[in-house]
Amino acid sequence: MTFTKPQTLKSISEIIGAKMIGDENFPVLGTNEIHRVKSGEIVFVNHPKYYDKALHSAATIILIDKEVECPAGKALLVSDDPFRDFNKINTHFTKITNFGETLHELEVGERTQIHSSVVIGNNVKIGNDCIIFPNVVIGDRTVIGDNVIIQSNTVVGGDAFYYRKFNGNFDRLISVGNVIIENNVEIGNGCTIDRGVTDATVIGEGSVLDNQIQIGHDTIIGKKCLIASQTGIAGCCIIEDEVTIWGQVGMASGVRVESGTVLLAKCGVNRDLQKGTYFGPIAEEFRQYLRKEVKLKKLK
């Protein structure tokens, strides 16, 4: 999430009551998750296992639960609960409406058709020549390009599935990101596309999604991808251009799939994949999978 105007280390520390380490005028431009964080942004970390990764990430402000040595050119915010305070910062700068307030700042392009049953959140932009079918829900801050088709009962911009277990309950990381759907995308019936926690979930230009597909938060789908029904893609994945994903594929969080890859039905993806054709509950190259099956049959 990028702030509408730059903040300072001091102003952020005052919002959350955290100790600051660094120049009080150190510029703070926004917040982000570790997967997408950029220079000038805050990332949070609340476990020693991930201290090093956060401290040496692109983030220049680290919200952390222990005072540690601060890397050169960076600043720290020391908090007793970084998860809680990350939420506090995000909701301070982003209004959470949950469809409970009057619609405002909706932009709709020329010749776009939106059925009367569609529910639209705040600060939504929809381009030219789009068709939005009945019972679609479009969450806050969603950006939809030109010539996009969204079929019935699809939800664009729902909350991210991101929780921690805290005091015996599940505590939500509040989603203040959005969804960006680029030009010439088609989305089938009953799909769910979660908005980013702090950044954007992106469906690239010319991609086509079948029915009943789940796209997790902060995932980026490239251009001209084809995704068949009942596929589930977790958060923070990167699917490069012209990838074909057949039915019931499941993908773990944070993986990257190279351009031109084909994932056959019911493929399970638990790691990064280079270009190729894959099959199996733990994805393996399709010809290798077939050779293994032949050997197993001979053993019998």
- C-alpha to C-alpha distance for 100 and 30, rounded to whole angstroms: 26
**Max Cα distance, the chain (Å):** 72
Q: Is 217 known to be catalytic?
A: yes
Tokens 């089938």 belong to 188
85 by Cβ neighbours in 10 Å (0-12 / 13-18 / 19+) ranks as: buried
Distance in angstroms (rounded) separating the CA atoms of residues 121 and 157: 9
Virtual CA dihedral for 253, 162, 104, 112, nearest 10 degrees? 30
Rounded Cα distance between 224 and 17, Å, is 46
User: What is the three-class DSSP state of 291?
Assistant: helix
Helix 82-93 vs helix 9-16: crossing angle, to nearest 10: 110
* Catalytic residue from among 92, 104, 115, 217: 217
Could you list the active site residues?
A: 217
